[in-house]
Amino acid sequence: MLAQKLERFYRARRVTLLGVGPMSRNCVDAAIELANEHETPVMLIASRRQVECSEMGGGYVNNWSTEKFAEYVTRHDKKGQVILARDHGGPWQSPEEVREAYSLRMAMESAKRSYSVDIACGFQIVHVDPSIDINGKPSATEVLDRVFELYEYCWEEARQNRREILFEIGTEEQSGSTDSVESLDQTLREVTQFCQRNRLPPPTFIVVQTGTKVVEMRNVGSLDSPFRIAGELAPEIQLPRIMSLCRKYKIFMKEHNTDYLSDETLSWHPKLGIHAANVAPEFGVAETKAFVQLLNENGLRKYSEQFLSLAYDSMKWEKWLGPDSAAGDQERALMCGHYVFSHPVFLELKSAAVKELQGKVDVDLYLKNKVKASIFRYLIHFGWVKAI
């Protein structure tokens, strides 16, 4: 059903399907509302850090387990526009598997259990990404072997649960440069052969490196750079080549790390034939900035300082920091505020702020609208909604 629906969309007009990272409950609500208001499909792309099955203790977003998250989305998505998707499923994609230094077999089993719950809960797209290995960089063959094992497992789970699932494959971490067409060709050839050999449906999406990379609160990849980046093949040349390869294998091209791209580049996504694109931290940062601004403008600086220091102390900004970064403490905190949205200290300070702003501002409505504006920019440029 979903596969046909996507085919229909792409046949009818050039659009890019948006994947929204569920950074917070407000972000999830914003995505559901926009999808329903504009009758536009939107994917909610949950990583295992964000949302994880209850047996593994849930994720950091709203303390949601996969089960609760899926139930929440399904209940609120009145028109059935939201597609639940697992982003970066696979071994060592859960913090627990890294922290406890799982062996390969344990990490694969853990990933499979996580996928099982996803499928049972109605996730329709699963990203199979075994590119992480805490024991060192796996070879291309090892990565593909793991893709095949997980692919077969998920398909069997879906069959037993009578669920429809689509596969997204991506075997490399995003680097900010573009893919080698030769290596992509080889991956697609091997995956196609595997699927044919085992009578499995071919993957629907392939994650390709289009030249996007998020550092701090900007996109530093080659895609958005108006000038050539040394050592890189200009995306102007590379993208059409990748597109033609995707056409050859009848697979949709998915971009990751689309956050913070300029309007100009975003508006070219449908024209360039990028079928789907994921955006995540930008929406979390939009909510963080909106909350800090709201507090500061209403004389509640004590709460904003408390929030920023909680975010800073989480050290989650480390992941986003660029080399030789000039980012100050406040900027670092803004990069990662969303990681502490479910922290008891944050919940307490937010509740106190809500009380103080009662009758003046509906805090969550305000925050949700800010995130909606941020998501809306993508829906316009991706061809789903006409700009007013």
Partner 1 sequence: MKRVATIILNRNLPLETERLYESIRKHNGDCTDIFVVESGSEEAKLSKYCTWWANWEESLAHGLRFPRGFNYGLHQLFSKPQENNYEFYFLICNDAEVPEQPFLKTLVEIMDEHARVGILSPCSADWGEINLLREKDVRYFWYVNHIAWLIRRTYVDCVRELDSPSYMNFLYDGENLRGYESEIELITKGYINDWATAITSRVRVQENKSHLLAKADLIRTEPYEESLVKCLVEGKKWMRRKYGFNSRWAMQMYAKLFYEKFFEFHPYLEGNRID
CA distance 146 to 194: 12
Interaction with partner 1 in 179-198: which residues (CB under 8 A)?
180-181
Q: How far is the CB of 366 from partner 1 (least distance, A)?
A: 33
When asked if residue 326 is in the footprint of partner 1 (CB under 8 A), the reply is: no
Please, what is the minimum distance in Å from the beta carbon of residue 237 to partner 1?
6
Q: What is the DSSP string of 163-191?
A: ---EEEE--S---SSBPPHHHHHHHHHHH
Q: 237 or 388: whose CB is closer to partner 1? A: 237
Least distance (Å) between residue 206 CB and partner 1:
17
CA distances from 83 to 27, 204, 223 (A): 15, 14, 27
Candidate residues 99, 227, 324, 355; the one interacting with partner 1 per rule CB under 8 A: 227
Tell which positions 264-323 bind partner 1, by CB under 8 A. 264-265, 267-268, 271-272
Indicate whether 145 belongs to the interface with partner 1 (CB under 8 A): no
234 binds partner 1 per the rule CB under 8 A: yes
Length of the chain, please?
388
In angstroms, the Cα distances linking 148 to 117, 128, 132, 183 are 19, 9, 15, 17
For residues 233 and 76, give the distance between their C-alpha atoms in angstroms, rounded to a whole number: 44
- Structure tokens, 267: 């508006």
Q: Measured from the CB atom, is 137 or 271 closer to partner 1? A: 271
237 touches partner 1 (CB under 8 A): yes
Find out whether 17 and 85 touch, Cβ atoms under 8 Å. no
Q: Which is nearer to partner 1, 225 or 342 (CB)?
A: 225
Among 238, 257, 258, 306, binds partner 1 (CB under 8 A): 238
Among 67-75, 97-105, 178-186, 301-309, the segment contacting partner 1 (CB under 8 A): 178-186
Binding flag, residue 178, partner 1 (CB under 8 A): yes
* 347-386 positions binding partner 1, by CB under 8 A: none
CB of 54 to partner 1, least distance (A): 45
Question: Cβ distance 92 to 102 under 8 Å?
Answer: yes
How buried is 203 (Cβ within 10 angstroms: 0-12 exposed, 13-18 middle, 19+ buried)? buried
Measured distance CA(88)–CA(128) in Å, rounded? 6
Of 40, 110, 177, 306, the one binding partner 1 by CB under 8 A: 177
Q: Which of 193, 240, 250, 345 binds partner 1 (CB under 8 A)?
A: 240
Contact call for residue 136 and partner 1 (CB under 8 A):
no
Separation CA 262–CA 377 (nearest Å): 10
Question: Pick from 32, 61, 126, 233: which binds partner 1 (CB under 8 A)?
Answer: 233
Cβ neighbour number for residue 290 with a 10 Å cutoff: 20
Residue 244 interacts with partner 1 (CB under 8 A)?
Answer: yes
When asked if residue 241 is in the footprint of partner 1 (CB under 8 A), the reply is yes
Q: Which range, of 49-57, 105-113, 199-207, 260-268, touches partner 1 by CB under 8 A?
A: 260-268
Residue with smaller CB distance to partner 1, 231 or 359:
231
Whether 64 contacts 72, CB under 8 Å: yes
Site for partner 1 contains 247 (CB under 8 A): no
Residues lying near partner 1 in the complex (CB under 8 A): 177-178, 180-181, 226-228, 230-234, 236-238, 240-241, 244, 264-265, 267-268, 271-272
